[in-house]
Structure 1
């Protein structure tokens, strides 16, 4: 039972139906020239899915404070109609929405905004970028007014609350930290003066919106930066905010430039709730009842329930889980009927894209952010007659393709050659920290059952099945990939295996393992084997180890490999595989033997697409997705998204073909007459 999750809550004067907040996420859709339609549809679906309160992605209060060119701006009147559309869409679904007021400080992208970044001190971040300008007294007062004006405007546009961003290393957090605030004036020099700016913002925002309008503050529970704000100052600041009238404290962790992983799959779910608990204790010890919101790496409703039941927090903020499943809250009210799609913390389609300009979505739910492009089946409209469609392959592309086709109302059969669904997700779930990939497989398997998809396991299809395939109106080909040989002398030796066998049978490998290949598959395999006490060395001809992995994840995984003693060599030229190991020429041109008991080939993949010409010859409408379409540069994000896109395209093609067949079956005398075209008024006809 989720008694604590579904207990109504209060944030100032705002009542919420439950204790789950959808945390702020920047989607790179906020500034789209569509009148706010895409973001409105995104937020509306999450409100309909049961979020107690939705917090928007950061909305900049001034031009120089924007995180990039695609951020929303509350100071720009041209954006106000779009922002109002977000609030209106959420309210139509019975939800509540808060606008996050945001200033990036030295994290702002000057090349994108056209303005020099500003900060408490002229110190650039460790990740590089343009050195910021130190704010002077007049500029500080201007920024404070901008926050106040933004809050006032948010209320006027129909938002139910505002959240002030003072965490994750942005401007207000920069004023609090001795790392970024080295000034010695009224705004810095000791803890009290470093707090002055964010407290002045709190006072100005409160004055701008009045006593009854909820003001939330997103504060840093731990910066995770050596020499930054100590815990005692963090707690003092939280208490000061509560005394100043903040209606809730939302506790974040970590700066973007911190080298401590916070949101990657390596991080244990719920790892950061202790910081919220400490701040809550400090606030209660001061005699204040201000609600505290725990956040970061909480991906299940059951975990949220434990956090609330243990008294660590009063609310729980879940951000990426609402990308993975907009109905995660509503589904929890009806256990057993439909499982939630769990966020697996891969970061590839969400955080990594948010750091650039690509639209944010979700690996396990590629509809996220594309709700208008791929609308759900509407029961209020005439539905097309169901087509009979086949999906060949039960890996990531096939799972999403089958789910999407069935959700569109079609009769679907899925054929999988293995004895279990999942494809390469079955390998990924074996890697430490990636166990939730198995939850994704279970979710899709349950969805296929719920939607009535007939699943045939241990059923490979080949050219002999052409007659079977002719019986379908269309086929989605998602047959995946197979490991590609490296083409080296000695690759036939018994100690040489491909990566799929190595993942499935790691106990059969020798103690010393050399992996030919340094991409994401090789890195995952190295992580798995190192955790089983193998000595692992990764080899790569060109490029970096982990090339192609997500920007927010690669560094953390490589640090974990180093911790486990995994070695790697790049810039090598292979000579041969020998019984003693791999003979190569290293980056310095020296010939050397890398000893190995087992050599694993993880040097690429080839598509399994032999059915494509069979389908073409049989005249069966078909689409390919994932590795079956193109194995080059393949990753799970692309495979799942292509499964969705191929399903919608195939469904449309099958529906059109069905309409034509039905029209052809009706004798011309029984068809309704076409309406006659008539000329309009004379003035129109002459024009």
Structure 2
């Protein structure tokens, strides 16, 4: 008997059977571009061994002009086919199945060679596309069909044709990007001609006994997007053209509505896929913000889809399905949808990984081999860096004692999870608690560590974190001045008018926390849809509410300040920073850069502008919250060094500048792998 009968039920596709209803969705990891095919193969094989029913690779370009960026991977030569065969052979040896995604970027390509239905430039890429003529369109169709045939030759079990997220095929579907008046534009029958013809030609190229998935945009979230009637019409035509499965795409990349970030509710868009159930006879996959087996089971049990797509959860834990099947879901490392090591890396041209699991995409390079000589290791600090070190060291066979002066583990994660939109951090701390017990780590909380405390250990790791930086503002000792720690951890009373000193990640988090009242939209999908202006595409073309975003009013009047004259939030996550800025702007938070903090007075906070510091003004506020950065807490590390004890210093205690959990966890894991 399993807790996940729908999730673990096989799916019959006629010529083949998938062992369960779990798809590892496509992710652009950058692995294929490394040309290290053993590394690529091990990444996918690890997930195959972990029990996933079917995997889809990152997008492979069908030709030069269709690549997301210059040099994007694809199957262009016999050598490419042979290299991909290394991957598919390894996956099949692990009893897995894998499909190759064919992704033509269209106007989203970062290349002057990009092409599209019309010469309409994308707001998120620098080059206007060349409008294709009839011959050019035929070339794109033929190249996509050829890519599918080569995928079969390379040993793939199927292909996914990328038709959503605003990429090439999606661009032909809507008048937003298709201004043509020939047989590829105008009426919807003409605009959908290209994706239908592509699927027909792909099926013709690969034969009947091969999986063909079509990724269908079910809600575009852009002006003049597809209507629901058009979505259904296309779904029917794609099925008739020979698709085996329909996968769900949500929103174009240029849409100004978040679709997969941590502040998006779990299964936020499953209702859209459910609308298609019964309209077609082939299986339908739902996607976006499904990150636990419980949520996945619920989605299937409610009839929202025949199968679920989870991508980033397989970065966090390759053994997701196997652990769920074994009744050990509490040990699944959770995807917190932070984007920090996956999508932020992808869109920065870096190799992807995972904040929670630094081994993701580094399986052959970061290994946790059993220790030849188990040692007795003391780790001081049970925040992200210390926890990461402890888990890996214990996994390798070391005897680990984890100390912290606090009464619970988590460090600054315990502040992060108080912020509306970061509820996933609750699950991360819970997972760490589970794994500390699972690995047999001795936990000594409420302990102030001195050199005597850790005498006798074979190795000492100091992960004591950070302390708030002192901004040295005259008058900051007043009762109306609080630290971010007082606010997020201490629940200090904050007045109705607030000035926040410092607009880094913590400053934005504090602003979000103080602006919030009532239930978090992340916990209430209907409230979240109103906040961001998401509508039913059956009622409103493209799924954009005509009245726009309707956020709840801010609980306070908030001014967010920084010394730098640059745009506030510029240094936040590459793919999530805009969400944090937009959220606060919708709440009416005032953002001011290029200021000097002159003094805290009874009237509020006195500031001036620029180097001249002329014309100081006073912001009339009741409370000033200091979020002016952090400095390493090295007191214990210095004491140990003074006592002549060797010590490893990691995380914020090592370097506090632009500290994030991604770096701390990665540093801890890599240290523990060498101890």
Q: TM-score, normalised by structure 1?
A: 0.90
Instruction: Measure, in 1, the Cα distance between the counterparts of 2:570 and 2:663.
Output: 16
SS at match of 2:12: strand
Instruction: Measure, in 1, the Cα distance between the counterparts of 2:436 and 2:71.
Output: 37
Equivalence for 2:576: 553
Equivalence for 2:516: 531
Equivalence for 2:35: 33
Output aligned runs, 1:601-616, within 5 Å: 601-616=626-641
1:518 equivalenced with 2:510 (yes/no): no
Which of 329, 337, 345 is 2:337 aligned to? Answer: 345
SS at match of 1:57: strand
Equivalence for 2:621: 596
Instruction: Measure, in 2, the Cα distance between the counterparts of 1:518 and 1:217.
Output: 42
SS at match of 1:30: helix
More helix by share: 1
Equivalence for 1:74: 75
Equivalence for 1:484: 469
Instruction: Measure, in 1, the Cα distance between the counterparts of 2:38 and 2:170.
Output: 32
Decide whether the 8 Å contact of 2:367 with 2:673 is kept in 1: no
Which of 597, 618, 622 is 2:647 aligned to? Answer: 622
Kindly report the root-mean-square deviation, in angstroms, between the aligned alpha carbons of the 2 structures. Answer: 1.5
Equivalence for 1:198: 195
Instruction: Measure, in 2, the Cα distance between the counterparts of 1:328 and 1:575.
Output: 53
Moved more, 337-346 or 46-55: 337-346
Equivalence for 1:141: 138
1:534 CA drift (Å): 2.4
Number of residue pairs the alignment of both structures matches: 633
1:264 equivalenced with 2:261 (yes/no): yes
Equivalence for 1:680: none
1:444 CA drift (Å): 1.2
Equivalence for 1:300: 292
Output aligned runs, 1:348-427, within 5 Å: 348-377=340-369, 384-427=372-415
Decide whether the 8 Å contact of 2:213 with 2:244 is kept in 1: yes
Output aligned runs, 1:108-187, within 5 Å: 108-110=109-111, 116-187=113-184
1:592 CA drift (Å): 1.1
Moved more, 546-555 or 258-267: 546-555
Instruction: Measure, in 1, the Cα distance between the counterparts of 2:65 and 2:457.
Output: 57
Which of 2, 6, 13 is 2:4 aligned to? Answer: 2
1:562 CA drift (Å): 1.9
Moved more, 15-24 or 356-365: 356-365
SS at match of 1:41: helix
CA shift digits 1:399-435 (9 cap, x unpaired): 1111111111111110011001101110010111101
Decide whether the 8 Å contact of 2:605 with 2:619 is kept in 1: yes
Equivalence for 1:20: 22
Instruction: Measure, in 2, the Cα distance between the counterparts of 1:552 and 1:390.
Output: 37
Instruction: Measure, in 2, the Cα distance between the counterparts of 1:11 and 1:484.
Output: 59
Decide whether the 8 Å contact of 2:379 with 2:461 is kept in 1: yes
Instruction: Measure, in 2, the Cα distance between the counterparts of 1:76 and 1:501.
Output: 60
Moved more, 83-92 or 72-81: 72-81
Decide whether the 8 Å contact of 1:269 with 1:298 is kept in 2: yes
1:497 and 1:225, CA in 2 relative to 1: closer, same or farther beyond 3 A?
same
1:88 CA drift (Å): 1.4
Instruction: Measure, in 2, the Cα distance between the counterparts of 1:433 and 1:323.
Output: 21
Instruction: Measure, in 2, the Cα distance between the counterparts of 1:252 and 1:320.
Output: 15
Decide whether the 8 Å contact of 2:124 with 2:254 is kept in 1: yes
Which of 445, 459, 481 is 1:457 aligned to? Answer: 445
CA shift digits 1:596-626 (9 cap, x unpaired): 2111110010101122233334454432211
Instruction: Measure, in 2, the Cα distance between the counterparts of 1:273 and 1:439.
Output: 21
Instruction: Measure, in 1, the Cα distance between the counterparts of 2:71 and 2:457.
Output: 44
Equivalence for 1:666: none
Decide whether the 8 Å contact of 1:470 with 1:618 is kept in 2: no
Decide whether the 8 Å contact of 2:110 with 2:125 is kept in 1: no
CA shift digits 1:453-476 (9 cap, x unpaired): 101101121xxx323423111112
Equivalence for 2:604: 581
Structure 2 unaligned blocks of 5 or more: 518-554
Equivalence for 2:667: 642
1:556 CA drift (Å): 1.2
CA shift digits 1:15-61 (9 cap, x unpaired): 11110100000001211132x12221111111111111010010111
Equivalence for 1:664: none
Structure 1 unaligned blocks of 5 or more: 284-288, 652-687
SS at match of 2:331: coil
SS at match of 1:470: coil
1:94 CA drift (Å): 0.9
Instruction: Measure, in 1, the Cα distance between the counterparts of 2:399 and 2:329.
Output: 21
1:644 and 1:44, CA in 2 relative to 1: closer, same or farther beyond 3 A?
same
1:154 CA drift (Å): 0.7
Decide whether the 8 Å contact of 2:293 with 2:329 is kept in 1: no
Instruction: Measure, in 2, the Cα distance between the counterparts of 1:618 and 1:71.
Output: 54
SS at match of 2:461: strand
Decide whether the 8 Å contact of 1:530 with 1:565 is kept in 2: no
Considering only CA atoms, is the larger Rg found in Structure 1 or Structure 2? 1
Equivalence for 1:255: 252
Decide whether the 8 Å contact of 1:474 with 1:620 is kept in 2: no
Structure 1 ranges of 4+ moved more than 4 A: none
1:2 and 1:337, CA in 2 relative to 1: closer, same or farther beyond 3 A?
closer
SS at match of 1:65: coil
Instruction: Measure, in 2, the Cα distance between the counterparts of 1:589 and 1:58.
Output: 54
Equivalence for 2:241: 244
SS at match of 1:58: strand
- Of structures 1 and 2, the one scoring higher in RCO (CA 8 A, sep 6+) is 2
1:127 CA drift (Å): 2.3
Equivalence for 1:218: 215
